[in-house]
Amino acid sequence: MSDVIKINGFTNETLDWKAWLDVVNVETATPEQIRILEASHPQAKTSDYYLLLVHEPEILDHRSETYNAIMYAPGGVHRADRELAALTVSRINGCVYCASVHAQRFEQLAKRNQIVADVFTDPATAGDNERDKAIIKLATALSESPGDFDASYVQALKDLGMNEKEILDIIHAASIFGWANRLMLNLGEPVFP
């Protein structure tokens, strides 16, 4: 990881997350729950988040399949761009845990960290270049006022050379974090090192 960033209560440090409700005990989990956990994420069997969600294994299975398809699918827009959208939405929604995860992923993929500090400071002024700024603006619009979202945000990315499938990847990444942040914020809290 690059230098530790701490701004406005957000950080690029590795955080833990603690559920406020009882989580499934891996020792007594059903075979279906174990299968879903193993398919969801490499650390799912030790994560309160996954161990809470696996109370409803079918729903977690659908969530994980959708999330993995949006964030890790080959082709389409570069993964760093997806991470920048996720970081922006998480910052706007106040999800410190998700923001830390996606700040780290963005830094790993893009090899840049000043933009992370800038997003933590103020997404409205963040962005090292026009492409970053357009991604941040699109993610911001979907987070703050989805009813006002219009073709101008799509056109801004088209004008910068993105095709419609790449733009759809950005929209999907921003949208799933509108949902994921609310789960994290309503079911537990981040734990700082």
Give per-residue pLDDT as tens, 21-68.
999 999 999 999 999 999 999 999 999 999 999 999 999 999 999 999
Q: Nearest Cα to 87, choosing from 189, 11, 168? A: 11
Q: Give residue 97's pLDDT.
A: 97
Global confidence as pTM: 0.95
C-alpha torsion sign, points 104, 110, 112, 116: negative
What single letter denotes the amino acid at residue 48?
D
